[in-house]
Structure 1
Amino acid sequence: MNRTLWIGIATALLAAGCGMPESGYSGKMASIDTAEAAAYESEPADALMSALAEADGADGGADRANGPTKRRIIYQTRLSLVVQDYKVFEAKLPQLVRDHDGFVSNAETNRRYRDEQSGTWVIRVPVDRYDGFLAGVMGLGFAESRKEDAQDVTEEYVDVESRIKNSQRLEQRMVDLLEERSGKLSDVLEIERELARVREEIERMQGRLRVLADRTTLATVTIQCREERKYTPPAAPTFTSRIGQSWSHSLASLRLTAENAVVLAVGAVPWLVVGGVVLLPTVWWWRRRRRRRRQG
């Protein structure tokens, strides 16, 4: 596409923008001054696409500045639960999940010593049902620990959303240019390559936006549950219990020291036997030789 044709297209876009103020594009093309028009003459394809991208970026800033922003927060909770009967917990939890419009993302159950069971459950529930679901789960057993994490991704969500809109507008401008089909084949191929790159970027950003939307719409609750039939919740230590614990720890340390001494003695016996087998003949020979020297 020759330089004159590119200048004509730029002029037509400028005139069209002035005639449609509601589209917001007239402000973009009006920002292209005489110096930028000269750039079109030297590098027509690159200059036009660069100007469109800059104009779309300016529009994106206006989009971000207008209107209230909905807060986007990722909620993640890890809950350690102790129950007296794992089968009862395993039967009640799915119903509790259904009552709060959630679903079980992952579940794993293990069998331990004395036939006691444990398991890990990953639950996804809507954010607006999150507090009620946690209260229901904690009613199924004793919560040993609870860790909640809230990550605010509002800024990233709005930024990705705005970038998608800007890239889609740029994509439409390129499609409009390709529909004319009146330029050089090299220029058309260059625009098609740029169009493919923009579309790939749009798909990537849309994928990221879907991930953010999913994680901010559904909270993630990881439940680590174990069965302990004779479980007693820990109580605050008293003076008497502290003395008892200190006495027990001292006895345990004394017993451990005695056991280690016995183990050390037993382990030294083979070395003593080997040493005796080697040293006794040597000592006997040395004493006999010394006696012979004295007699001689």
Structure 2
Amino acid sequence: MPMKTVQTVPVWMLLLGIFSLLMACESSPKQSSSEAMEATASPDATAENKETPPQQNIIKHAAVRFQVQDMASTTQYIESTARKHQGLITNTGQHTEGDEHTIDFEIRVSPQNFLPLLDQLQQHSTKLDYRTLSTDDVSLEMVDVAARLKAKRTTEERFLSLLKEAKTIEEIIKVEYELQRIREDIERADARLRHLSDQTAYSTIKLSIYQIVPMSFSERVGLGSRFYNAFGTGWQLFISLLVGVCYLWPVVLLLLGFWLARKHRMV
């Protein structure tokens, strides 16, 4: 009876099959985890692709008035503090009414230094009369003006093309008239946009400081003399008026005679 031969599988092939099976099992979790990471990252990518809202453009104003003890030292302090906060004093003026001597300042400063500068300016105040703050959001207006400006420039280019294609003098005149009108609109829109950009780039502080300086005796005497001179001038004006009436005596006599004659007829 012949014997059957049993074929044995080499050990190295068996180990190779087990190793391949293990690698296949490990690769699927890695693949699923990588897909999960991509799914997690996709919302961030979507968020980055979202359109950012337009930047806010706000005009800031402040009006402040307060009393000081020493006008000279306070003026120097205001100038140095404005320079410290990179501000610019664009306008100044001073006037005196009675015992009150006043100096007005107009200061332009960047929005981030607006409130810090305003707070430091009040450190020399002995009596605060008022402090008002106001803001004006011009973001939508700037977007609208910029869009209209872009549209007007596109229209200008279209009319320039039509001007090149114009054949008759009448067509040239009509196109040039429209071009002039559009360019005027462009200049107005561009000027408005530049003005709004300047107002939002720098905030404005209108500061008024005053010091009570009692009038000297000579100044008070001078005030009394001015009242005396005013009274004398008024009296001279009254005398001049009477003299002027005297120059009109013929007219006065004529009117008087007319009145007497009318009264006699009525009697």
User: TM-score, with normalisation over the residues of structure 2?
Assistant: 0.56
- The 1-side partners of 2:94 and 2:74 are apart by 12
Greater shift in the superposed pair: 139-148 or 203-212: 139-148
1:148 and 2:112 equivalent? no
Deviation at 1:113, TM superposition (A): 4.6
Q: How does 1:90-129 map to 2 (within 5 A)?
A: 90-111=75-96, 113=98, 117-129=101-113
| Paired position in structure 2 for 1:82 | 67
Correspondent of 1:200 among 154, 176, 184: 184
1:134 and 2:113 equivalent? no
Percent identity of the aligned residues?
28
- The 2-side partners of 1:137 and 1:96 are apart by 7
Question: Do 1:84 and 1:229's aligned partners in 2 also have CA atoms closer than 8 Å?
Answer: no
| Paired position in structure 2 for 1:41 | none
| Paired position in structure 1 for 2:37 | none
**1:22-50: CA deviation from partner (whole Å, max 9, x where unpaired):** xxxxxxxxxxxxxxxxxxxxxxxxxxxxx
| Paired position in structure 2 for 1:174 | 159
| Paired position in structure 2 for 1:212 | 196
SS of the residue 1:139 aligns to: helix
1:160 and 2:145 equivalent? yes
- The 2-side partners of 1:213 and 1:141 are apart by 33
In the alignment, residue 133 of structure 1 is paired with which amino acid? Answer: L
Q: How does 1:1-296 map to 2 (within 5 A)?
A: 68-111=53-96, 113=98, 117-142=101-126, 143-181=128-166, 183-228=167-212
| Paired position in structure 2 for 1:16 | none
Deviation at 1:137, TM superposition (A): 0.5
| Aligned residue-pair number | 163
Deviation at 1:188, TM superposition (A): 2.3
| Paired position in structure 1 for 2:11 | none
- The 2-side partners of 1:228 and 1:221 are apart by 23
Question: Do 1:83 and 1:229's aligned partners in 2 also have CA atoms closer than 8 Å?
Answer: no
Deviation at 1:229, TM superposition (A): 7.9
| Paired position in structure 1 for 2:19 | none
In the alignment, residue 170 of structure 1 is paired with which amino acid? Answer: T
**Structure 1: tracts of 5 or more residues without a match:** 1-65, 231-296
**1:158-196: CA deviation from partner (whole Å, max 9, x where unpaired):** 111110001001111111222234x33212221111111
**Structure 2: tracts of 5 or more residues without a match:** 1-50, 215-267
In the alignment, residue 132 of structure 2 is paired with which amino acid? Answer: K
Deviation at 1:68, TM superposition (A): 2.6
RMSD of the alignment, in Å? Answer: 2.1
- The 1-side partners of 2:202 and 2:84 are apart by 15
Which portions of structure 1, spanning 4 or more consecutive aligned residues, are displaced by more than 4 angstroms? none
Question: Do 2:101 and 2:213's aligned partners in 1 also have CA atoms closer than 8 Å?
Answer: no
Choose between structure 1 and 2 for higher RCO, CA contacts under 8 A separated by at least 6 residues: 2
Deviation at 1:110, TM superposition (A): 2.7
**1:197-247: CA deviation from partner (whole Å, max 9, x where unpaired):** 1011100111111111111111111111112489xxxxxxxxxxxxxxxxx
Change (3 A) 1:185 1:112: closer
- The 1-side partners of 2:98 and 2:152 are apart by 59
- The 1-side partners of 2:80 and 2:199 are apart by 23
Change (3 A) 1:169 1:84: same
Deviation at 1:82, TM superposition (A): 1.5
